[in-house]
Amino acid sequence: MRAILTKALTGLVTGLLTVMLASMVVFAAVEVLPRDPARTALGNESTEEQRAAFREEYGLNDPAPVRYARWAGGMLRGDFGVSVISRRPIADELWPRLGRTALLALTALLISVALGIPLAARAARRPGGAFDTVANLLSTGVSAVPEFVVGIGLVYVFASWLGLLPVLSNGVENGQWVGLILPALALGLAAVSYVFRFARVGVAETAGSPFVRSARLRGFSERRLTWRHVLPVASSAVVNVVALNAIYLLGGVIVVENLFAYPGLGTMLIGGVRDNDLPTIEAVAVVTAALLVAVNVAADALVAVLNPRTRQRAAAAESHEPEVAAP
């Protein structure tokens, strides 16, 4: 228990440091270029006096560390600044979009687990068998294909060719749940290979362990072995997938949202890039980084709770001799 707490605490501190670093990198990247926010806000026809007054009012003459502290402090209080384009508080738009992005990501995750775990269980039944081989090749292939390629294929098949589903999704608030299907499917399919690989290794390892062998000797059916003995132990693999691949899944979310015009954080970010709306870009980037870190910390903690052996096993694995090529 003590070990788990230490691990969780370390994770939390590292996570906070990461969010801080991300916010500094974002701030610095925008800061480096010689840009005049006063001119951007007031337009080219403004006089030098007007711009000077604007800079004075918004404290733009302060040194960079002061402005960083003010910006970061504002975000901690939920104040993300004002969009240069819409002139409205960024927070008003950000929170609903955050919810929609979370909904999309969770649905996609469910799809990838629902497909990946049974495939892994089937493949691990006979490692090296035909099913395992084909599934492995496919997962290597699919995991290398960018999400937008998977997505455009799905759009073509389901929207253009079969005409079953709408291409663009305008959010899900008004009960337009069909709009969620294609984006979630695109993202979920791109993530299946991650789930499959982790779960397959977990299942194969567990299936070879003494307690499963003894259960088999007691005459339990293969089905019961898989569902009652192997999969519960291998389930931490799924949490691990989330922990290790959250960074890549996040990239997928950004891409898929833009492909389907899904009104989440990803479209807000790219919209900000198109409009050159730096405050929006900064705010979305920091919030997304924070979200990612939170997911990571939570997943790490969950792995430790689900499987108390994690720590010891990790320690044991490190002390193992590196595998020597046998003659």
Partner 1 sequence: MTTTVDIIARTRKKAGPRRSAAASIGVSVGAAALFLSVGVALLGPLLAPEDPVAISGRPRLGPSSEHLLGTDQLGRDLLSRVLHGGWSVIAVPTAATLVAFGVGAAIGVWTGLAGGRRDVVTSRAVDVLISLPPLLMAIVFISAFGSSAVVLVGVTALFFVPRVVRVVRGTTAAVIASDYVAASRARGDSTAQILRRDVVPNISGQLVVEFGARLSNVVMFVATLNYLGLGVHPPQPSWGLMVAENTLLLRTNPLAALVPAALIAALAVGVSLVSDRVAERLAVDVAAP
Please report, as ranges, the residues that interact with partner 1 according to CB under 8 A: 14-15, 17-18, 21-22, 25-26, 29-30, 32-33, 128-130, 133-134, 136-137, 140-141, 143-149, 152-153, 155-156, 159-161, 167, 244, 247-248, 250-251, 254-255, 258-259, 269-270, 272-274, 276, 278, 281-282, 285, 288-289, 292-293, 296, 322, 325-327
Handedness of CA 105, 110, 111, 117 (dihedral sign): positive
In the bound state with partner 1, the residue whose beta carbon lies nearer, of 19 and 180, is 19
Burial of 201 (0-12, 13-18, 19+ CB in 10 A): middle
User: Min. distance of Cβ 23 from partner 1 in angstroms?
Assistant: 11
Residue 12's contacts (CB-CB under 8 Å, 6 or more residues apart) are: 297
* Distance, CA of 291 to CA of 20 (rounded, Å): 13
In the chain, % helix, strand, coil (3-state, to 5) comes to 75, 0, 20
DSSP states along 159-205: IIIS--S-SS---STTS-THHHHHHHHHHHHHHHHHHHHHHHHHHHH
Q: Which of 225, 250 has the CB closer to partner 1?
A: 250
CA atoms of 264 and 261, how far apart (whole Å): 9
Tell me the three state secondary structure of residue 35.
coil
In the bound complex, what is the minimum distance in angstroms from residue 149's beta carbon to partner 1?
Answer: 5
Residues 6 or more apart whose CB falls under 8 angstroms from that of 311 comprise: 3, 4, 7, 304
Of 175 and 322, the one with the shorter C-beta distance to partner 1 is 322
Q: 175 φ, ψ to 5°?
A: 75, 15
Shortest distance in whole angstroms from residue 308 CB to partner 1: 23
Give the residue with the Cβ less far from partner 1, 144 or 217.
144
Shortest Cβ distance from residue 92 to partner 1 (Å)? 22
Q: Which residue number, 65 or 161, has a Cβ lying nearer to partner 1?
A: 161
Nearer to partner 1, 95 or 131 (CB): 131
Cβ 140 to partner 1 shortest distance, Å: 6
Residue 33: CB minimum distance to partner 1, A:
6
